[in-house]
Amino acid sequence: MKILVDQGKCQGRRNCISSAPDVFDLDQSFKAVVTDPKGDSDENILKAAKFCPTQAIFLEDEKTGKRIYP
């Protein structure tokens, strides 16, 4: 799964980190970044994307490029 974070939408609330701490972290600007896209299950990564209050996390199928979320 390909994980994209829209830095312009991210407010640094850490919801993604709570759901998938081995996948997400905050950078020095307090914006979410992907540290390890394989760091957790697809289920937890999807949960992290859904818990983002600004929908700043986008998930795509790596092979087809089809949007998984949102």
pLDDT band, residue 66 (cuts 50/70/90)? very high
- Per-residue pLDDT reduced to its tens digit, 46-59: 999 999 999 999 99
Q: CB of 59 within 8 A of CB of 46?
A: yes
- Map out the domains of the chain with their CATH numbers: 2-69 (3.30.70.20)
| pLDDT score, position 60 | 98
| Token duo for residue 45 | 């990564």
> Which residue carries 């640094």 as its tokens?
12
| pLDDT score, position 52 | 98
- Per-residue pLDDT reduced to its tens digit, 7-43: 999 999 999 999 999 999 999 999 999 999 999 999 9
Whole-model pTM: value is 0.93
